[in-house]
Structure 1
Amino acid sequence: MHFELTSFIFAIVSFAILMWLISKYAFGPLMGIMEQRRQLVLDQMNSAEQNRKQADSLLAEQKAALEQVRSEAKQIMEQARVTSGKQAEDIIAQAKAEAGRLKEEALRDIENEKNLAVAALRSQVSAMSVLIASKIIEKQIDEKSQEQLVEHYLKEVGGNQ
């Protein structure tokens, strides 16, 4: 193989020019695109990390809010139970008071009716006594017939009731 210096120098100069052209027009833009891609991937990774942190904080906030809502719901349920118990006690107390009032009113009515009945009975007994006395005076009868007459009128009074 024969080695020529001019061909060798021409090959090296051609190679150097080719390398310079490739690095200027191919490797430069390719490296710029690769750098942009690397930066884009880094930005996306940073953004994803920030989004994950934000999602974690939102999740924590939602858990806290959910726990607070549960606590408030439990408190409302307890308050409703206490309120309903108190209302039930109030209704029972009112019913007992009304029953007591009605009982007292009924007892007063019974007492009034009893007094009216006693008064009517006394009126009838007095009328009967007057009637018996007038009959006794009219007949002027002996003691035995007088007793029979009183018993007879008392039986009539007893039978009318």
Structure 2
Amino acid sequence: MAWHWESTVYAIIAFGILYWLLNKYAFGPLFAVMEKRRQLVLEQMNTAETSRKQAEQSMEEQKAALEQARKEAYAIIEQARVTSTKQAEEIVQSAKSEAARLKEDALKDIDSEKNKAIAALRNEVGGISVKIASKIIEKQVDEKSQEQIIDQYLKEVGSK
């Protein structure tokens, strides 16, 4: 087997032409498609990262909103508790003042009735005294009969 240098030169020239044709018509479009694919993958990765960050931010916002809602709910419950306690105290205080007023009215009524009874008793005692005096004047009796007359009238008053 003999080595022919012309064949080697032809093979190198053919390889160069083939490489140039492939580079011009095949590698260019192939590399362009691969570059587009690489750009698409990078873009999708960036979009996914942005979406992930937005999702995290949304989640943080939702957590903050939920925490704020909890705080507001606790504040409303506490305010309702304070309001109900205040209303209960107001109701108790109102009931106490109403009871005191009713007691005062009852004491005034009792005092009034007592004064009426005393006045009536004075009138009656006055009338009895007048009757006793008139009986004493009529009879001009001694001390023993005077005591009997007084006892008799006291029994009459006691039975009324």
TM beyond 0.5:
yes
Secondary structure at 1:141 match in 2: coil
Matches within 5 A, 1:3-152: 28-152=28-152
In structure 2, C-alpha distance between the alignment counterparts of 1:18 and 1:155, rounded to whole Å: 158
CA offsets 1:85-116 (integer angstroms, 9 cap, x no match): 22222222222222222212211111111011
In structure 1, C-alpha distance between the alignment counterparts of 2:18 and 2:153, rounded to whole Å: 159
**TM score, norm. by length of structure 2:** 0.78
Percent identical across equivalent pairs? 66
Letter of the 2:71 counterpart:
S
Cα offset, 1:24, TM superposition? 5.6
Letter of the 1:114 counterpart:
K
**TM score, norm. by length of structure 1:** 0.77
Mean CA deviation greater in 135-144 or 150-159: 135-144
Is there any run of 5+ residues in structure 1 with no aligned partner, and where? 1-8
TM-align CA RMSD: 3.0
Aligned to 2:158: 158
Is there any run of 5+ residues in structure 2 with no aligned partner, and where? 1-8
Structure 1 segments, 4+ long, off by >3 Å, are: 9-34
For these two proteins, the number of residue pairs brought into alignment is: 160
CA offsets 1:16-60 (integer angstroms, 9 cap, x no match): 888777666655444433332332222111101000011111111
In structure 2, C-alpha distance between the alignment counterparts of 1:155 and 1:92, rounded to whole Å: 52
